[in-house]
Amino acid sequence: MTGPLHGVRIADLSRVLAGPYATMLLGDLGAEVIKVERPEVGDDTRAWGPPYADNGMATYFAGVNRNKSSHAIDLSTLEGMADVRALIAESDVLVENFRPGALAAMGLGYDDLAAEHPGLIYCSISGFGSGEGAALPGYDLLVQAMGGLMSVTGPGPGEPTKVGVALVDVITGLHATVGILAALHHRDETGEGQHIEVNLLSSLLSALVNQSSGYVAGGVVPGILGNAHPSIAPYEVFATADRPIVLAVGNDGQFRALVGALGLAELAADERFAANPQRVAHRSELKALLEGALASRGASEWQVTIAAAGVPCGPINDLEHAFALAQRLGLDPVVEIGGVPTVANPITLSGSPVEYRLPPPDLGR
């Protein structure tokens, strides 16, 4: 059985995270991905360690580069340009995250290549677009700051904090993947290729969903609420007798079940807490009352009691415990390819499942 993208060839001229993540997902779906890297140096993330896998490869690189082969090509030489042009001529998709305009200056821009290969799908990934923001460096941390994510993330007001992973790169890679799949379908219908542009800033603004919608449609500029939710309560982290627990109460019925399980059934009739808008307005008072009850027992004991009442709750796991949970639930979160453990693709397809054919490649292989 072959993946749904079997027969699609991708020339991957991207590096670091957003582009490589997108092309890895496409490779998992059966596409042939040829990663173009600088001779001797390769993708920047080959040097981003520790930590390292058992074979000495930086785990950062390994995490986004399975199901690819690596071609070491020097684009500053005539031979290298001939090699990459030959690769593009045999490819369905080109993915790149060079500084906007850099490939066009080499004669490898979309307009140049589309004239020769009208069916080519050309995906450009940038930090701030190809217009007025073309000169701005597209680093995830910079976009988390300038794009507003840090303004709503942190322990409290005045303490903006980045997310613990390069989340904007990942989100942008997902948007690039969606765009490429849509363009492949369009080409199947019309025979025409096209130019896809995605950028980190626009991807983040879209991914801020309720927060960005609250500003665009409601004029509300949100601030930092720590672990609290701007529109739902109780929906945050709560102290217990030993360690924190998360309560995610999404409706009034769940709230009644929660306070019943905690021995605080009278709060369901309290006008301050009877409906979600009131609970949001009186969030601090509600949290104090709930933590007063939670202080009588530990998190594990409370989780059993609260979950039995039908209320979403859970501990704050580290990655070791998170992977153990996924394994216990039968989700098979780790796949080993060629002796290198990698995180499994989360997409399950009943008729054309994802494939794990190639381990993250050594440079030039």
How confident is the model over 68-103, as pLDDT tens digits?
A: 999 999 999 999 999 999 999 999 999 999 999 999
Q: One-letter amino acid identity for 171?
A: I
Q: Which residues contact 25 (CB under 8 A, 6 or more apart)?
A: 173, 174, 177, 345, 347
Picking from 203, 211, 96, the residue whose alpha carbon sits closest to that of residue 143 is 203
Q: For position 57, what pLDDT does the model report?
A: 95
Q: For position 161, what pLDDT does the model report?
A: 97
Residues in the chain: 365
Beta strands 68-72 and 340-343, pairing class: unpaired
Helix axes 200-207, 167-190, angle to 10 degrees: 100
Tokens standing for residue 338: 């060629």
CA distance 96 to 83: 16
* SS3 (DSSP) at 292: helix
Tokens standing for residue 7: 């027969």
Structure confidence by residue, pLDDT tens digits, 120-164: 999 999 999 999 999 999 999 999 999 999 999 999 999 999 999
Helix axes 209-218, 200-207, angle to 10 degrees: 80
CA distance 340 to 220: 47
Residue 12 pairs in a beta bridge with: 35, 95
Tell me the helices (H) and strands (E) count for the chain, helix number first: 14, 11
Mean pLDDT by groups of 10 residues along the chain of 365 residues = 92 98 98 97 96 95 97 97 98 97 96 96 97 94 98 95 97 98 98 98 98 97 94 96 96 97 97 96 97 96 96 95 96 94 96 95 93
CA distance 325 to 308: 18
Out of 74, 169, 188, 318, the active site residue is 169
Strands (E), 127-218: 194-199
| Dmax (CA) of the chain | 78
| Torsion angle in degrees (nearest 10) through CA of 246, 252, 255, 259 | 170
Residue 209: exposed, middle, or buried by beta-carbon count in 10 A (0-12, 13-18, 19+)?
Answer: exposed
DSSP 268: G
Q: pTM (2 decimals)?
A: 0.94
Q: Is 169 a catalytic residue?
A: yes
Q: For position 2, what pLDDT does the model report?
A: 85
The answer to whether 32 touches 8, Cβ cutoff 8 Å, is yes
Q: For position 54, what pLDDT does the model report?
A: 92
Q: Kind and range of the H or E element at 259?
A: helix 252-261
- Domain annotation for the chain: domains and CATH numbers: 9-207+333-343 (3.40.50.10540), 245-314 (3.30.1540.10)
CA distance 233 to 280: 5
